[in-house]
């Protein structure tokens, strides 16, 4: 019997029977996150001590944790980003790491555009005002035929391209390894981050967090932004300098932001939570029934495959 830990709270929420039968068929015994929240390093270390594998969300799998898991052979990421996993350690110790590539791409692209529209049209602010008896009209921003800059043209970024096309938007993009055919077919202006900041009305972020993308949007380059700029981040919190973003939004030097990810999650006393022109998500962009089912099944299949190889 192979023993695994499952940390994501939404794992198999909508297709539990299917996943349970798959585990049973392959002699996998799963222990689920007992804490109801993102687990700490100490909690992960304790529960991983006798496990052969782990299906992990954004919980920490740093070297200190992995050293406490001598039997660990496989990690299945429930998602795409592996910045919470010490991949140097896993490579050195022959621990296999898999990802649920493309399983949640449409869900995240949908939510990215939902945040964009919510901030531009001040949906949350208007809703809260109306419920408090404030029936005043609030002037918002147009979206149709505006300019959007997409940072990262992976599966999610390409999904945002398709949604932006429905609004006849001019599409700018930055990507370190662009698909030239996709760029040409979709009339995308491939350019650099500074040009996107200067010229675009919206920026949607879909890059991995790496040393090269850490604080890619910062005080130096964001000072070039239009006053009506809206930044949407459903990728990783560290890509945007949060203190700079807070100051820009607070002082209305940009119009606002839609933020689903933070450098620390849950955010501790983040000043961004105080601002009306910032719409916040709980790292929830992939949380749809369809995406959850796809990610759960793919992560289960990945961990079984890697444990049996």
First to last CA, the chain: 15
| Whether 124 and 170 share a structural domain | yes
- pLDDT the model gives residue 192: 97
**121: helix, coil or strand?**
coil
Other Cβ atoms less than 10 A from the Cβ of 94: the count is: 7
Beta bridge partners of 277: none
Residue 81 pLDDT greater than 90, yes or no: no
| Whether 70 and 126 share a structural domain | no
Place 293 in a pLDDT band, splitting at 50, 70 and 90.
Answer: very high
Residue 255 pLDDT greater than 90, yes or no: yes
Portion of the chain with pLDDT greater than 90, in percent = 96
**282: helix, coil or strand?**
coil
Whose tokens are 């070039």? That residue is: 224
- pLDDT the model gives residue 174: 98
| Whether 142 and 222 share a structural domain | yes
- pLDDT the model gives residue 268: 87
Average pLDDT (120-142) is 96
Other Cβ atoms less than 10 A from the Cβ of 274: the count is: 11
Summarised one tens digit per residue, pLDDT across range 142-201 is 999 999 999 999 999 999 999 999 999 999 999 999 999 999 999 999 999 999 999 999
| Whether 34 and 142 share a structural domain | no
Average pLDDT (271-280) is 96
| Whether 34 and 112 share a structural domain | no
The conformation of residue 114, written as its DSSP 8-state character, comes to H
Phi, psi at residue 202, to the nearest 5°?
A: -135, 145
Highest mean pLDDT: which range of 200-204, 261-265, 267-271: 200-204
Interior CA angle at 76 toward 261 and 19, to 5°?
Answer: 105
Average pLDDT (5-17) is 96
CA 20 to chain centre: 27
Cβ contact 56:85 at 8 Å? yes
Place 298 in a pLDDT band, splitting at 50, 70 and 90.
Answer: very high
Residue 225 pLDDT greater than 90, yes or no: yes
- Domain housing 27: 2-101+288-308
| Whether 151 and 272 share a structural domain | yes
| Whether 226 and 114 share a structural domain | yes
Q: Looking at residue 29, which CATH number applies to its domain?
A: 3.40.50.720
Q: What is the rounded distance in angstroms from the CA atom of residue 64 to the CA atom of residue 179?
A: 38
| Whether 114 and 17 share a structural domain | no
| Whether 228 and 95 share a structural domain | no
The conformation of residue 274, written as its DSSP 8-state character, comes to G
| Whether 41 and 96 share a structural domain | yes
Average pLDDT (23-44) is 96
| Whether 96 and 139 share a structural domain | no
| Whether 120 and 249 share a structural domain | yes
Portion of the chain with pLDDT greater than 70, in percent = 100
Q: Per the structure block, which two tokens stand in for 156?
A: 């999610």
pLDDT mean across residues, the chain: 96
Residues taking part in catalysis = 236, 265, 283
The number of distinct structural domains making up the chain is 2
- pLDDT the model gives residue 80: 86
Average pLDDT (46-53) is 97
Average pLDDT (212-241) is 96
Average pLDDT (10-19) is 95
Enter the pTM of the model.
0.86
Nearest alpha carbon to residue 208 among 163, 151, 162, 259: 151
């Amino acid at each position: 019997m192979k023993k695994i830990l499952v940390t994501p709270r939404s794992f198999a929420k909508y297709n539990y029977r299917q996943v349970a039968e798959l585990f049973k068929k392959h002699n996998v015994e799963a222990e689920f996150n007992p804490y109801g929240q993102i687990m700490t390093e100490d909690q992960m270390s304790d529960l991983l001590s006798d496990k052969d594998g782990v299906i992990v969300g954004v919980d920490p799998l740093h070297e200190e944790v992995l050293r406490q898991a001598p039997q660990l052979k496989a990690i299945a990421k429930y998602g795409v980003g592996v910045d919470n996993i010490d991949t140097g350690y896993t490579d050195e110790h022959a621990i296999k790491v898999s990802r649920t590539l493309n399983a949640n791409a449409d869900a995240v692209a949908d939510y990215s555009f939902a945040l964009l529209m919510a901030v531009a049209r001040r949906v949350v602010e208007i809703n809260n005002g109306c419920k408090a008896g404030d029936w005043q009209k609030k002037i918002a921003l147009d979206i149709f035929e505006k300019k959007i800059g997409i940072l990262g043209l992976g599966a999610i970024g390409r999904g945002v391209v398709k949604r932006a096309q429905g609004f006849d938007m001019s599409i700018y993009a930055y990507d370190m390894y662009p698909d030239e055919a996709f760029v040409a077919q979709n009339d995308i202006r491939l350019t650099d981050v500074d040009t996107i900041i200067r010229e675009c009305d919206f920026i949607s972020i879909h890059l991995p967090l790496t040393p090269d993308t850490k604080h890619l949007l910062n005080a130096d380059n964001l000072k070039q932004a239009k006053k009506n700029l809206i930044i949407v981040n459903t990728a990783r919190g560290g890509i945007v300098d949060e203190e700079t973003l807070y100051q820009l939004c607070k002082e209305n030097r940009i119009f606002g932001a839609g933020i689903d990810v933070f450098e620390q999650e849950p955010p501790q006393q983040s000043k961004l939570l105080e601002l009306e022109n910032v719409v916040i998500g709980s790292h929830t962009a992939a949380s749809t029934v369809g995406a959850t089912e796809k990610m759960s099944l793919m992560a289960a299949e990945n961990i079984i495959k890697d444990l049996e190889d």
